[in-house]
């Protein structure tokens, strides 16, 4: 009996002490995923029901307040630009030479037909600022130990009321994420892979997004090149730069 | 004999005036209501056919299942080939590709900033191809309020109310913001060629009409169309023929499990139109039947009253040796004459009223606010050849049947009691 009790206490102490607190995990994720600023080139392959197509773009962003994206290919999308300033979003279409502000329900529309919405793209806030978390266990994801976290929104203006995260227990990078509506319905799922170390932080280079309410095989987002803490000129984040 | 009866009817006003008026009113109502129903239901069916449903429509199976949502990602591909096949296999129809889409129409100010914006229902049709009858089919030339018809690519027609709301005039530029068939956001500039009013709440609320090639460019739908609609060359919807065509077409694709395989639906197989088509077919028959029955009862009653009033006259005639059959027959002949006179008078009045409503219409736009069904906001009657003779059914037959029923009493008179009755 004494041995059993000792073994139980040992296991409890080991697991209890080795499992970090939820807030700590979120902070470590934010340290990896958020940055002062970043510049990256990416490709987005949208696997539709009938065909797949790839869109490439270059983005500049500062914190979670400002970002500017220019689409590079295919020809139909080339030159399309998006500017986000705080909670406002503008799109410039070169074929019409018009800049349109996206607001209201349009923010929930798909970006370029992908499984991502404008709202998804706009919400770059830190998880620690927007969600309360609770560690509910650990699982193995793609051969790596992961903490399972359940997040509940603590602010009203987030796109998803709840999230479930599988976080790499060593690198503190989400490996999988389920996004839920207030009703509890699963809306989106994302799977992160190709985790690499860039400038001392871990970052997933490939993310497969799947809108669970949409047909198709999801959208594969690949980070082709990413640089953190760059010197980004301020004029990029102006409406004038949309037409340049 | 007939001359004698006519004289009798003319001289004895009590025998002719009331029955003729009753018959005329009944016939007038029958003729007018038939023209009204033909006009209203026919207009609604043809309007839905012309603007939306076609007499038959080809879509992908997946699109057909969700057609209310206008899912462009499920649109037909390789449309030119499909059109050629349809034209060869079913030459009794005129085939044309169409795209219905939703989006926002944004009107810019002089600085290119949004001046006004509103949700729009888009209709893309073949306006510019040589020999296309789409503009005539939609009667666009008569629906133009300001400006002119689309004459070149990049032009659009806006519903007049919508244009006023956006504060745009013909010649101004507007931007369509919508989704391509891949789901990408798209922006496309159109110059407003003119504004239109179709007299239908659903269309006049906020619609934009563009040439299909412009829509294909805007919505990234090369050689694609949401639907291919077919119109019978006769110009009028024939449900039986449409059902046969759809069945013949669909039989060719029964084996294919591809959800993007084409499927043909008739107008009556789309939404609530089936019920409507069915209703329009039987409605005129119902109304005529009801009138025949009602008129028969009224005229039977009138005949009974007349018989009672003419009780003495019949008695004298029978007492003078006239056969019961002869009295009965003359009564029937009289009713035939009354029926003919009432029918002619009632038909003329009914046609006159129907012609007035056909010309001027009845404005029911106030009742149509918020309606999602495509219905004309001005109801017009439609005078058809049937209206010239439909009145004879209640007017003549009911009168005669009523008189025949009422006249049976003649045979119940007993000659032995006639003089007693006359003495009394």
Disruptive mutation site among B184, B214, B223, B258 for chain A (greatest number of A CBs within 10 Å):
B184
Residues composing chain B: 424
The larger pLDDT score, comparing residue B336 to residue B308, is at B336
Match 């073994």 to its residue by tokens.
Answer: A7
Q: Using an 8 Å Cβ cutoff, are B286 and B34 in contact? A: no
Q: How far apart, in Å, are the Cα atoms of B210 and each of A10, B63, B134, B268?
A: 75, 21, 11, 27
Q: Which domains does chain A have, with CATH numbers?
A: 20-243 (2.50.20.10)
Report the DSSP pairing between strands A219-228 and B56-60.
unpaired
Whether the complex's predicted ipTM is more than 0.90 is answered with no
Give the pLDDT confidence of B19-38 residue by residue, as tens digits: 888 889 888 988 888 888 88
Give the pLDDT confidence of A117-132 residue by residue, as tens digits: 888 887 778 899 999 9
- Considering only B17-21, B149-153, B420-424, which range has the smallest mean pLDDT? B420-424
Give the pLDDT confidence of A184-212 residue by residue, as tens digits: 999 999 999 999 998 888 999 999 999 99
Which residues in chain B have Cβ-Cβ distances shorter than 8 Å to A91? 185, 187
Q: Are B185 and A109 a contacting pair at CB < 8 A? A: yes
Stretch B391-406: mean pLDDT, rounded?
81
Which token pair is A217? 């095989």
Q: How far is A230 from chain B (nearest CA, A)?
A: 30
> What is the C-alpha to C-alpha distance for residues B362 and B366, in angstroms, rounded to an integer?
11
Q: To 10 degrees, the CA torsion angle through A50, A51, A56, A59?
A: 20
Task: Return the pLDDT at A56.
Answer: 95
Sign of CA dihedral B88, B93, B134, B120: negative
Please tell me if residue B183 touches chain A, with a CB cutoff of 8 Å.
yes
Please tell me if residue A76 touches chain B, with a CB cutoff of 8 Å.
yes
Match 């507007």 to its residue by tokens.
Answer: B174
Q: Using an 8 Å Cβ cutoff, are B172 and B192 in contact? A: yes
Q: Using an 8 Å Cβ cutoff, are B123 and B209 in contact? A: yes
DSSP letter string over A93-157? ETTTTEEEEE-GGGGGSBSTTSS-BHHHHH----HHHHEEEEEEEEEEETTEEEEEEEEEESSSS
Which token pair is A104? 């209201």
Task: Return the pLDDT at B60.
Answer: 94
> What is the C-alpha to C-alpha distance for residues A38 and A236, in angstroms, rounded to an integer?
13
**Which member of A91, A97, A113 has the closest CB to residue B183?**
A113
A24 burial level (CB within 10 Å; 0-12, 13-18, 19+): middle
The three-class DSSP label of residue A158 is coil
Please name the helix (run of DSSP H) or strand (run of DSSP E) that holds residue B137, with its range, or none. Answer: helix B134-137
- pLDDT bracket for residue B421 (50, 70, 90): low
A/B interface, count of CB pairs below 8 Å:
57
Task: Return the pLDDT at B366.
Answer: 67
Please tell me if residue A105 touches chain B, with a CB cutoff of 8 Å.
no
Q: Are A98 and B220 a contacting pair at CB < 8 A? A: no
Q: How far is B146 from chain A (nearest CA, A)?
A: 25
The larger pLDDT score, comparing residue A39 to residue B398, is at A39
**Which member of A49, A93, A113 has the closest CB to residue B187?**
A93
Residues 6+ apart with CB under 8 A from B127: B134, B135, B149, B150, B209, B210, B211, B212
Q: Domain ranges for chain B, please list them.
A: 2-47+276-423, 56-234
- Its pTM stands at 0.70
Which residues in chain B have Cβ-Cβ distances shorter than 8 Å to A109? 179, 185
The larger pLDDT score, comparing residue B114 to residue B346, is at B346
Q: Are B180 and A114 a contacting pair at CB < 8 A? A: no
Sign of CA dihedral A165, A169, A172, A176: negative
Give the pLDDT confidence of B326-385 residue by residue, as tens digits: 888 888 888 888 889 889 999 999 999 999 998 888 877 666 565 555 566 677 888 888
Which residues in chain A have Cβ-Cβ distances shorter than 8 Å to B113? 99
Disruptive mutation site among B63, B66, B106, B182 for chain A (greatest number of A CBs within 10 Å):
B182
Please name the helix (run of DSSP H) or strand (run of DSSP E) that holds residue B30, with its range, or none. Answer: helix B13-48
Task: Return the pLDDT at B50.
Answer: 85
Strand spans (E) along B161-272: 173-179, 185-196, 207-211, 227-232, 262-266
Of all residues in chain B, the one with the smallest CA distance to A48 is B182
Task: Return the pLDDT at A14.
Answer: 46
Q: Are B187 and A100 a contacting pair at CB < 8 A? A: yes
The larger pLDDT score, comparing residue B420 to residue A105, is at A105
Task: Return the pLDDT at B131.
Answer: 87
- Considering only A171-180, B188-197, B289-298, B313-322, which range has the smallest mean pLDDT? B289-298
Which residues in chain B have Cβ-Cβ distances shorter than 8 Å to A97? 112
Residues 6+ apart with CB under 8 A from B92: B232, B233, B241, B245
Task: Return the pLDDT at B83.
Answer: 95
Collect the ranges in chain A with pLDDT lower than 70: 1-18
**Which member of A96, A106, A114 has the closest CB to residue B189?**
A96
> What is the C-alpha to C-alpha distance for residues B147 and B143, in angstroms, rounded to an integer?
11
The larger pLDDT score, comparing residue B291 to residue B114, is at B114
**Which member of B114, B183, B260 has the closest CB to residue A100?**
B114
């Amino acid at each position: 009996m004494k041995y059993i009790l000792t073994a139980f206490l040992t296991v409890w102490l080991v697991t209890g002490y080795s499992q970090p607190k939820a807030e700590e995990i979120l902070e470590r994720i934010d340290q990896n995923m958020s940055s002062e600023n970043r510049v990256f080139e990416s490709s987005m392959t949208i696997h539709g029901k009938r065909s797949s197509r790839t869109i490439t773009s270059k983005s500049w962003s500062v914190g979670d307040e400002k970002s500017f994206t220019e689409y590079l290919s295919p020809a139909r999308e080339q030159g399309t630009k998006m500017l986000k300033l705080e909670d406002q979003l503008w799109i410039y279409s070169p074929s019409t030479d018009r800049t349109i502000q996206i607001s209201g329900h349009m923010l929930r529309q798909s970006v370029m037909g992908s499984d991502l919405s404008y709202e998804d793209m706009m919400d770059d806030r830190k998880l620690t600022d927007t969600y309360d978390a609770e560690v509910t266990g650990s699982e193995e994801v793609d051969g790596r130990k992961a903490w399972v976290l359940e997040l509940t929104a603590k602010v009203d203006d987030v796109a998803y009321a709840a999230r479930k995260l599988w976080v790499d227990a060593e690198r503190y990078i989400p490996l999988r994420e389920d996004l839920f509506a207030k009703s509890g319905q699963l809306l989106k799922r994302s799977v992160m892979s190709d985790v690499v170390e860039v400038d001392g932080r871990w970052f997933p280079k490939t993310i497969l997004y799947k809108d669970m309410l949409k047909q198709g095989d999801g959208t594969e987002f690949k980070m082709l090149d990413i640089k953190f803490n760059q010197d980004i000129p301020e004029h990029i984040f102006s409406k004038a730069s949309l037409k340049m | 004999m007939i001359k004698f009866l006519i004289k009798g009817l003319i001289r004895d006003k009590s025998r002719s005036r009331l029955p003729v008026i009753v018959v005329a009113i009944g016939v007038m109502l029958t003729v007018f209501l038939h023209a009204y129903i033909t006009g209203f239901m026919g207009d609604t069916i043809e309007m839905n056919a012309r603007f939306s449903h076609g007499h038959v429509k080809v879509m992908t199976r997946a699109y057909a299942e969700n057609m209310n949502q206008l899912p462009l990602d499920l649109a037909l591909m390789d449309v030119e080939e499909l059109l050629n096949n349809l034209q060869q296999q079913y030459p009794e129809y005129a085939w044309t590709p169409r795209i219905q889409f939703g989006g926002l129409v944004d009107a810019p100010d002089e600085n290119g900033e949004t001046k006004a914006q509103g949700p729009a229902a888009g209709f893309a049709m073949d306006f510019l191809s040589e020999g296309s009858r789409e503009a005539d089919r939609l009667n666009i030339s008569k629906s133009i309020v300001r400006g002119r018809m689309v004459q070149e690519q990049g032009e659009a027609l806006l519903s007049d109310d919508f244009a006023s709301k956006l504060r745009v005039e013909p010649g101004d530029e507007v931007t369509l913001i919508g989704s391509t068939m891949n789901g990408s956001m798209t922006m496309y500039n159109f110059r407003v060629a003119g504004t239109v009013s179709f007299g239908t709440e659903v269309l006049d609320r906020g619609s934009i009409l563009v040439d299909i090639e412009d829509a294909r460019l805007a919505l990234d739908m090369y050689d694609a169309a949401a639907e291919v609609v077919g119109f019978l060359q006769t110009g009028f919807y024939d449900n039986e023929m449409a059902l046969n065509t759809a069945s013949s077409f669909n039989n060719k694709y029964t084996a294919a499990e591809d959800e993007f395989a084409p499927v043909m639906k008739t107008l009556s197989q789309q939404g609530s139109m089936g019920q409507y088509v069915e209703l329009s077919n039987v409605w005129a028959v119902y109304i005529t039947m009801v009138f025949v029955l009602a008129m028969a009862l009224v005229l039977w009653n009138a005949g009974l009253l007349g018989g009672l009033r003419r009780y003495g006259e019949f008695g004298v005639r029978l007492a003078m040796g006239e056969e019961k059959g002869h009295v009965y027959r003359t009564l029937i002949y009289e009713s035939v004459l009354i029926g003919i006179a009432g029918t002619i008078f009632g038909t003329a009045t009914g046609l006159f009223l129907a012609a007035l409503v056909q010309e001027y219409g009845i404005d029911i736009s106030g009742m149509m606010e918020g309606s999602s069904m495509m219905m004309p906001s001005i109801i017009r009657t439609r005078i058809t050849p049937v209206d010239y003779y439909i009145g004879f059914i209640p007017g003549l037959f009911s009168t005669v049947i009523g008189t025949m029923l009422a006249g049976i009493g003649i045979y119940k008179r007993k000659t032995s009691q006639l003089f007693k009755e006359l003495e009394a």
